[in-house]
Amino acid sequence: MNPFTSVAVGVASLDEALSLWVDQFGLALEARREGPDAVLARLWRLADTDIRRQALVATPGQRFGMIHLVEFDGPEPPVREHASATDCCPKNLDVYADNLPQKMQDLAARGCQFRNPVHSEVTVSDGTRFREAHMPTHDDINVVLLEVMGWDLPYSENGFAAVGLLITIVPDAEREKHFYGEVLGLEKLSDNLLQGVEVEAMVGLPAGAAMDASVWGRKGDLLGQVEVIEYRGASGADLYPRARPKSLGILHISFDASDIAPIRRRLAEARIDVIEHGRLSTLATSGDMISFLSPAGLRIEITAAR
């Protein structure tokens, strides 16, 4: 299975979103469409006029981890409005940054803000060392700037690559891991239990809590990965029902597959309800489409791309 092709993001202002992703981060504007979109409205069960404008942005030259920005007419509140750090929902979009300390200085000089003035630095059990900084952005989206030491990434001219990972907070990590590995057929790229004062400060966890974190995608592809996180020793509300068009913020992810018949079969065996959409062509993809929910409630679309 390929990494995810795109993440759908509802925005109140397309121009504001593009100023971040294209102007600040240097992502490429792959496509743009103005006005109602009957096909996308059909896929998302909306009225044609509910969609005002949309754009597809990507790390230059990359086909995974793209961002499908959609401006709605009469949008609903953000998915993460008033959310706590431990609420279950699609939480963060991780953006790789080259030389994170310098990037934080540059962005702060342009008016961007960070949850903490200094980045966090963590070494996980497999020896991977990374720095990260949490950056609140448009539509209550938390962007995490991430620098992984020793990784060679396809940075934009501005020194960023996105989306590296979609962070999804779940109540039952083992059930979600089985889904991504055995049902979707993604590869497990890492699996760690992170704990300690550095992790508590980085995430905003209570003392003694831990983070069960696993990453799913395909070896060799550093964009379009999914990170499944369960916070042990901390509880949160279920916000996944909010993550639907026309809400603002992170809504769902989409995959392209050469053949979705095996995935249909595994979904049926797992007793996961599937919606058949037929052949559709959207700004982000084209082909025979299905959609369904992960065990935690994250909406997923898969296209048999042609």
Here the CATH number for the domain that contains residue 20 is 3.10.180.10
15 CB-side CA count, 13 A: 0
29 part of a folded domain: yes
% residues pLDDT > 90 (the chain):
76
pLDDT of residue 64: 96
Q: How far apart are CA 84 and CA 106, in angstroms?
A: 28
Say if 81 falls within a structural domain: no
**Whether residue 95 sits in one domain with residue 72:** no
The domain of 97 spans: 90-232
Tens digit of each residue's pLDDT (9 = 90 or more) over 249-303: 999 999 999 989 999 999 999 999 999 999 999 999 999 999 999 999 999 999 9
How does DSSP classify residue 212? E
With respect to residue 238, please indicate whether it lies within any of the assigned structural domains. Answer: no
Question: Of 180, 197, 232, which residue constitutes the final position of a domain?
Answer: 232
The reply to whether 240 falls in a domain is: no
Domain match, 114 and 190 both: yes
Domain end residue (candidates: 200, 232, 264): 232
What is the tens place of the pLDDT at every residue in 198-230? 676 667 676 777 888 899 999 999 999 999 999
For residue 196, the model assigns a pLDDT of 67
**Same domain, yes or no: 25 and 122:** no
Do residues 197 and 288 share a domain?
no
What domain count does the chain have? 2
CA separation for the pair 135, 127 (Å, rounded): 25
In this structure, the answer to whether residues 228 and 134 fall within a common structural domain is yes
Q: Which residues fall within 8 angstroms of residue 266, CB to CB, at 6 or more apart? A: 182, 183, 184, 185
Write down which residue in 183, 200, 232 finishes a domain: 232
User: Residue for token digits 């044609």?
Assistant: 48
Average pLDDT for 20-49: 96
